[in-house]
Amino acid sequence: MRSEILILALMVGAFTWAFRVLPTRADLSAMPEGGLLSRFLAATGPAAIATLFTASVLPMVTGGLPLPLAGGTAAVLAVFAATRSVVGATLAGSVAYGVLFALI
């Protein structure tokens, strides 16, 4: 394993561990509702995921909205609305994208 990849993995892994584990020990629920840190933390997750979705589809929409992308997105929305399942919606979107890709 190349040293730069190992160092990167260890740095990110250590922070990820800290992000997941340490807050289980601290009672952040005592944080004032509507405070600066509370609002920043609350916005970080949605902002990060919205950014990642945008960044991942942006290369696909250059020059128009392809049918597989539209169909895959619609499948995610429909299955999530019906089941509230992240895993189910993800798999449905992937299958719809693949099927439409094969058909056109």
Partner 1 sequence: MDNRPSTLADGLLAALPIVLGYFPIAFAFGVAATGAHLSPVEAVGLSVIIYAGAAQFLTLALITSGAPLLVSAFTLIAMNLRHVLYGPSLMKRAGPDARRRWSWFWAFGLTDEVFGAALGQLARGRRFSEPFMFGLAIGAYASWVSGTVVGAWAGGGALKNWPAVEAGLGFMLPALFLALLLSILSRAQLPAIAVAVLATVGVTLAWSGTAGILAGMIAGAVAGLVPRKVVDAQ
Among residues 66, 53, 54, which one has the least CA distance to residue 96?
66
Is residue 63 part of the contact set for partner 1 (CB under 8 A)?
Answer: no
Q: Is 67 in the site for partner 1 (CB under 8 A)?
A: no
Q: How many residues bind partner 1 (CB under 8 A)?
A: 74
| 12 contributes a contact to partner 1 by CB under 8 A | yes
**Contact between 89 and 80 (Cβ < 8 Å):** yes
Site for partner 1 in 32-51 (CB under 8 A): 34, 36, 39-51
- Sheet strands (E) in 8-104: none
Q: In this structure, are residues 71 and 97 in contact, taking their beta carbons and an 8 Å threshold?
A: yes
Q: Does 65 bind partner 1 (CB under 8 A)?
A: no
The one among 32, 63, 64, 84 contacting partner 1 by CB under 8 A:
84
